[in-house]
Amino acid sequence: MPNRQGRFALTRMVLCLAVASTLTAASKCADLSGTYLLQGEDGQVRFSIKQHNCDRMIIVRENNYLGTISTEKHDLMLDGREHADTPWLGGRKGGKTTAKFLGSQLRVDAKVEGDATLTMIYSLTSARDLQIEDLDSQGHDLGSPSVAARQR
């Protein structure tokens, strides 16, 4: 049986390992950084994502619909709290957006014009393409997820 000093050192080592594994687990999130292209029938959307650890992300959406190009930029804090944001999907007024990782998925809730909330779930496929799921205000899928191909 270890003496008192040995038990103290062992206890301290176990606590340090527990704290380190908790911090490591808490800091893990998917790295969505990259450029992706979603091709549609009448146009395309290019997503450029720059991620800073699990704290912040900039999403630039460049929409090209029948030759008309519009761009929107969202600077997101990934803390799950509301922050002022620019309009989403061609809206006219900015609103409040919350964003946070739930495991490997990024959930973005954007309050848009009126009382509506736009919910998008971003994740990576096994091929590292960007998958986007749109949810209604009750959390139900609004159809099949869209997949934007990673640009190399």
- Cα–Cα distance for residue pair 133/120, rounded to 1 Å: 6
What is residue 15's predicted lDDT score, i.e. its pLDDT?
Answer: 46
DSSP 100-113: EEETTEEEEEEE-S
What is residue 22's predicted lDDT score, i.e. its pLDDT?
Answer: 38
What is residue 121's predicted lDDT score, i.e. its pLDDT?
Answer: 96
What is residue 114's predicted lDDT score, i.e. its pLDDT?
Answer: 72
What is residue 13's predicted lDDT score, i.e. its pLDDT?
Answer: 52
What is residue 1's predicted lDDT score, i.e. its pLDDT?
Answer: 54
- Cα–Cα distance for residue pair 6/1, rounded to 1 Å: 9
Paired with 106 in beta bridges are 101, 122
User: Locate tokens 């848009």: which residue?
Assistant: 112
Residues 44, 61 contacting (CB under 8 angstroms): no
pLDDT by residue, tens only, the chain of 152 residues: 566 565 555 555 544 444 444 343 445 899 999 999 999 989 999 999 999 999 999 999 999 999 899 999 999 999 999 999 998 887 777 789 999 999 999 999 998 777 788 899 999 999 999 999 998 776 777 788 999 999 97
Looking at the whole model, is its pTM more than 0.75? yes
